[in-house]
C-alpha cells in the first residue's frame, strides 16, 4: 500500500515540501496534551471564581437613600465603551480556543462556501450542529478559529488534521490558543534541543511554565507562562537566561505564500511567463518626494519589471 503524502511549509528553506503521511504526526504530542490539561484546569479554576448573578446581586446593598445615585449610574464623560473589531472572535470563559492553519497555499474564503468550514469540522469531529463547537473563519488572516467546551473535541482538532472540501482533502495544523491569563516569551537555546527535552530543562522559580515550543531547527523557543507578567529571567539548565517579548508573526499571503499585511499586500505579476510576487514597501504618505518615483509605487515591482528594449 503506497503511503500518502502531505504538503508542508519548511521555514528553513522557505519552500513547500511533500512529506510521507507516516512521518507526519497524527496525534498531539505529550507536551500539547499536558498543555491542554493545564488550560482545562485553568478554565475550571476561573469558572469556580466567578460568582453567579443571583449571589452577586444579593451581596450588594439594596437600601439607598432617596435622590442618591450610585457609582454605576454616574458615568464619566471621558469613559468610552470598549469594543472588539468585527473580525476578532469573542473568547468565552468556558471555551478552549483552537486555531486551524492550512498547510498548503490556498484561499479559504474562495475554497469554502457559506457553511462549508462548519460542515467540514462537524464531519471531522463526528458531531452535530448543537454539539458545542463554534467555528469562526477569519478571512483576512486565512485561519479558522474554533471554540470547544470539552477536552475530547479539542483532542480531535489539535495536531495534523484533514478537512474535506467536496472530493478534496486539505491538510490543516491545529494549535491550542492560550487563554487571557497567560503570556509568552522567547529564549535562546542550543540547536540540538527539542520541545520534549526543554520541558525538563526550563524552570521558572516565581511562577509556572505551561508550554514550551521550539521553532523548527532554530535556536529559539517560545515559552508560555501562567499569568500576564513576562519574567525577565528563567533557568535553562540551572543557568539564568534572559526572556525576550514574543512578537506575533505576520500572516502570509494565501496566493503566493509570502508574508503580507493590510498595508503590505502581496501583488502577483506575470513577467516573461514566470509567476512572481512583488511586495509593497511604501505607502503614498511615506514615499519619498521625487519626480522620478511615483508615490505609492512599489520599489520591488520596479526591480521586477523587464528592462526596456
C-alpha span between 134 and 145 (Å, rounded): 8
Highest mean pLDDT among 42-46, 177-181, 228-232, 282-286: 228-232
Is the CB of residue 253 less than 8 Å from the CB of residue 268?
Answer: no
Name the grid cell of 47. 469558572
- Secondary structure (3-state) at 293: coil
C-alpha span between 239 and 28 (Å, rounded): 30
Give residue limits of the domains in the chain.
Answer: 30-42+88-176, 182-245, 252-289
Could you give the C-alpha distances from 42 to 34, 35, 97, 154, in angstroms and in order? 12, 10, 13, 15
- Secondary structure (3-state) at 264: coil
Is the CB of residue 159 less than 8 Å from the CB of residue 173?
Answer: yes
Summarised one tens digit per residue, pLDDT across range 134-187 is: 888 888 888 888 888 888 888 888 888 888 887 788 899 888 877 667 888 999
Mean pLDDT of the chain: 69
C-alpha span between 116 and 166 (Å, rounded): 9
C-alpha span between 235 and 2 (Å, rounded): 46
pTM: 0.50
Q: In this structure, are strands 202-203 and 182-188 parallel, antiparallel, or unpaired?
A: unpaired
C-alpha span between 193 and 71 (Å, rounded): 55
C-alpha span between 111 and 117 (Å, rounded): 9
| Interacting residues of 19 by C-beta distance below 8 A, sequence separation 6+ | 5, 6, 7, 8
Summarised one tens digit per residue, pLDDT across range 16-45 is: 777 665 444 444 445 566 666 666 666 666
pLDDT band, very low/low/confident/very high, at 75 (cuts 50, 70, 90): very low
**More confident position, 86 or 279:** 86
Compute the chain's Rg from CA coordinates: 24
- Secondary structure (3-state) at 160: strand
Amino acid at each position: 500500500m503506497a503511503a500518502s503524502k502531505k504538503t508542508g511549509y519548511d521555514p528553513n528553506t522557505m519552500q513547500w515540501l511533500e512529506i510521507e503521511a507516516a512521518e507526519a504526526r497524527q496525534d498531539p504530542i505529550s507536551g500539547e496534551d499536558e498543555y491542554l490539561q493545564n488550560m482545562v484546569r485553568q478554565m475550571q479554576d476561573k469558572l469556580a471564581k466567578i460568582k453567579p448573578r443571583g449571589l452577586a446581586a444579593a451581596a450588594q446593598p439594596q437600601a439607598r437613600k432617596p435622590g442618591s445615585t450610585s457609582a454605576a449610574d454616574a458615568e464619566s464623560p471621558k469613559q468610552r465603551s470598549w469594543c472588539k473589531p468585527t473580525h476578532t472572535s469573542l473568547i468565552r470563559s468556558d471555551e478552549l480556543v483552537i486555531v486551524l492553519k492550512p498547510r498548503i497555499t490556498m484561499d479559504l474564503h474562495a475554497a469554502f462556501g457559506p457553511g462549508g468550514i462548519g460542515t467540514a469540522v462537524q464531519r471531522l469531529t463526528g458531531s452535530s450542529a448543537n454539539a458545542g463547537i463554534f467555528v469562526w473563519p477569519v478571512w483576512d488572516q486565512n485561519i479558522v478559529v474554533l471554540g470547544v467546551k470539552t477536552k475530547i473535541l479539542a483532542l480531535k482538532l489539535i495536531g495534523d488534521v484533514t478537512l474535506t472540501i467536496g472530493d478534496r482533502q486539505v491538510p490543516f495544523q491545529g494549535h491550542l490558543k492560550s487563554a487571557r491569563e497567560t503570556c509568552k516569551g522567547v529564549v535562546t537555546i542550543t540547536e540540538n534541543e527539542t520541545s520534549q527535552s526543554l520541558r525538563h530543562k526550563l524552570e521558572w522559580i516565581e511562577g509556572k511554565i505551561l508550554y514550551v515550543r521550539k521553532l523548527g531547527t532554530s535556536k529559539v523557543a517560545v515559552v508560555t507562562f501562567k499569568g500576564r507578567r513576562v519574567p525577565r529571567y528563567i533557568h535553562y539548565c540551572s543557568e539564568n537566561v534572559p526572556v525576550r517579548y514574543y512578537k506575533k508573526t505576520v500572516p502570509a499571503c494565501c496566493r503566493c505564500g509570502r508574508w503580507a499585511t493590510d498595508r503590505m499586500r502581496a501583488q502577483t505579476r506575470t513577467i516573461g511567463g514566470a509567476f512572481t510576487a512583488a511586495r509593497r514597501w511604501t505607502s503614498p504618505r511615506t514615499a519619498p518626494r521625487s519626480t522620478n518615483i511615483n508615490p505609492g509605487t512599489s520599489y520591488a515591482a520596479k526591480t521586477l519589471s523587464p528592462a526596456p528594449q
